[in-house]
Amino acid sequence: MKTRQASNLQLRLLTNVVIVYMLMAFAWWSVLLFTKNRDAFEAKAEVMRISMAAQRLVQNEAEFRQTPPYLELTRKYKRQEWMIMGEAIVFVISLVIGVYMINRGYLREVNAARQRRNFLLSITHELKSPLASIRLVMDTLRKRELTQDQIKQLSRNGLKETERLHALVEDLLLSAKLETAYQPHLEITDLSRLLQDCLQRVQDKNPDRPMIWNGPAEPVEIAVDRTGMTSVVLNLLENAVKYSPEDSPVQLQLQANEKNVQILVADVGIGIPDQEKKQVFEKFYRVGNEDTRQTKGTGLGLYIVEQIVRAHGGLIQIRDNQPQGTIFDLTLPCTTEKIP
């Protein structure tokens, strides 16, 4: 890793040296071109003056400078100067844009490489951990004589790890599908009931966590992809649980009007820095560094959330909660039309 970073640093240094050399060389050639153009003008003007003086067309320098041929020569000289200056400006602007595009592409590649590295580290852990737990359960069941209560407990643990592994595989498959051929299958759905079911599922996994529901008592029926919207809400709720203290509440709120519905998921956790509020929706992106991060995850959850929300014609934003924490603000259009 250090070798690669040193190589990238050397490459950037070499690129900067070449750019500086090109600018200095261009400045030199520009000055030289201006000088040669001026010398050519002065030489032509002198030849013209001598010729006119020999023909007794002019008597002095001032009279020569008022003649039409000299004025035409002067106009051509000024036009050439402007052409040289314009080409210089175009070249400099092109070079600056080129350098900017190269640096932006380089930074994107660096960020993408870092995200891929973080993803590989996280996915390795996310795969090995449940597999190791399942293997331990199976070895224990095979090698030891256990009571019925112990067998039930081990079975529950194995099933829990299997579900975790299944959810990871589903996220990987869904993220790949979102890049190519995802189309939401819209069905008339009671969004209030769907959200409460998701909240209950997360509550079942975290029985000691305070979960707060705030929504209308009557059904809120709109056309959504039930599977996709369930994934969205579960991801947001699980994120809120993951990045907030164990005894802190997580709130799920639903508001509806004639034009749209608004879903709010709020926690009082560590929050998200302003400069990373947009980046967290990028594929594989996770706040912090994978070497030091303690929370589980692959960086796919919020990417999946944004893509599904976009496919529904909606919008998701991140706001700071007060006094601390994060609010995910999701807005969907109130449509009741199915896609055939």
pLDDT (tens, 9 = 90+) of the chain, 340 residues, equals 456 556 666 777 777 787 788 778 878 888 888 888 888 888 888 888 888 888 888 878 888 888 888 888 889 888 888 888 888 888 888 878 887 887 787 777 777 777 677 666 666 767 777 788 888 888 888 888 888 888 888 888 888 888 878 777 777 777 777 767 678 888 899 999 999 999 999 998 888 899 999 988 888 899 998 988 998 999 899 889 988 888 889 999 999 888 889 999 999 988 888 888 888 887 777 665 444 355 566 677 888 889 899 888 899 999 998 888 899 999 998 876 544 4
- What pLDDT shows up at residue 5? 59
Residues 6+ apart with CB under 8 A from 209: 202, 203, 241, 246, 247, 249, 250
Parallel, antiparallel or unpaired: strands 260-266 and 221-224 = unpaired
- What pLDDT shows up at residue 135? 87
What is the DSSP code (8-state) at residue 337? P
Structure tokens at 120: 């590989």
Structure tokens at 172: 């990987």
- What pLDDT shows up at residue 128? 78
Tell me how far CA of residue 229 lies from CA of 141, 164, 212, 305, 339, in angstroms: 38, 19, 19, 8, 16
- What pLDDT shows up at residue 315? 92
- What pLDDT shows up at residue 271? 85
Alpha carbon distance 179, 172 (integer Å): 11
DSSP alpha helices (H): ranges in 144-225? 148-178, 191-205
- What pLDDT shows up at residue 214? 92
Amino acid in the structure at residue 194? L
- Using DSSP's 3-state secondary structure scheme, residue 328 falls into strand
